[in-house]
Amino acid sequence: MVQICDSAVDAVSGIADGSTVLVGGFGMAGMPVQLIDALIEHGATDLTVVSNNAGNGDTGLAALLAAGRVRKVICSFPRQSDSWVFDGLYRAGDIQLEVVPQGTLAERLRAAGAGIGAFYCPTAVGTPLADGKEQREIDGRQYILEYPLAGDVALIGAHRSDGMGNLVYRKTARNFGPVMATAARTTIAQVSEIVATGDLDPENVVTPSIYIDKVVAV
């Protein structure tokens, strides 16, 4: 059964030091900012964060990095015009980085949720991102072997939840939320509102409650 939490702080209270945390969002769209703020207050440290970006401005994921809680970032776009927090940490040698092409990132997460042991992908063949990875020719094309990317915890943002934890999203704020929900041992969702079970149109449910452990309305 999903746990409906009274606050974001309650929702993240079980996250341990050293956890791998999947953080939804494409930039700020769909980023679970209140859950991240609660994680900062909670105090967990030495985290590995998996996200599309490495933080924007001084809020959300960037604030978690600025608090010194993150050991490593796995992402597709670590640098952009407002990624000064990550940029400063990386240049100072205070954070580790693993760059993963965006499609490969999504597929590694999906593989973790689907129980796929590994897969061959043509993206990044012939680039430094392929260094040290197994390479194989399939039907005349070169591929590299990629492994699933699972999390101890996923923090995602959705639009609405019902009392069972079924989720619907709002437009492009969906982004990585559904696939991250399947790829983590514990999935925590922040939503705009929680409605009565039965009020959501089943045809509109994107993430079923089986993947959700905790929900908090913010």
Give the three-state DSSP class for 105. helix
pLDDT at 81: 84
This model's pTM is above 0.85: yes
Percent of the chain with pLDDT over 70: 100
pLDDT at 1: 87
Judged against a pLDDT cut of 90, whether residue 138 lies above it is answered with yes
Judged against a pLDDT cut of 90, whether residue 79 lies above it is answered with no
CB 216 within 8 A of CB 8: yes
Nearest to 175 by CA among 34, 29, 60: 29
- Integer Cα distance of 114 and 98 in angstroms: 23
Block residue for tokens 């205070």: 94
CB 70 within 8 A of CB 15: no
Nearest to 213 by CA among 151, 149, 148, 155: 155
Beta strands at 20-23 and 47-50: parallel, antiparallel or unpaired:
parallel
- Integer Cα distance of 89 and 38 in angstroms: 22
Residue 170 main-chain phi, psi, to 5 deg: -110, 105
Identity of the amino acid at 110: R
Tell me: the pLDDT tens digits for 81-109? 889 999 999 999 999 999 999 999 999 99
Tell me: the pLDDT tens digits for 106-128? 999 999 999 999 999 999 999 99
CB 20 within 8 A of CB 150: yes
pLDDT at 203: 96
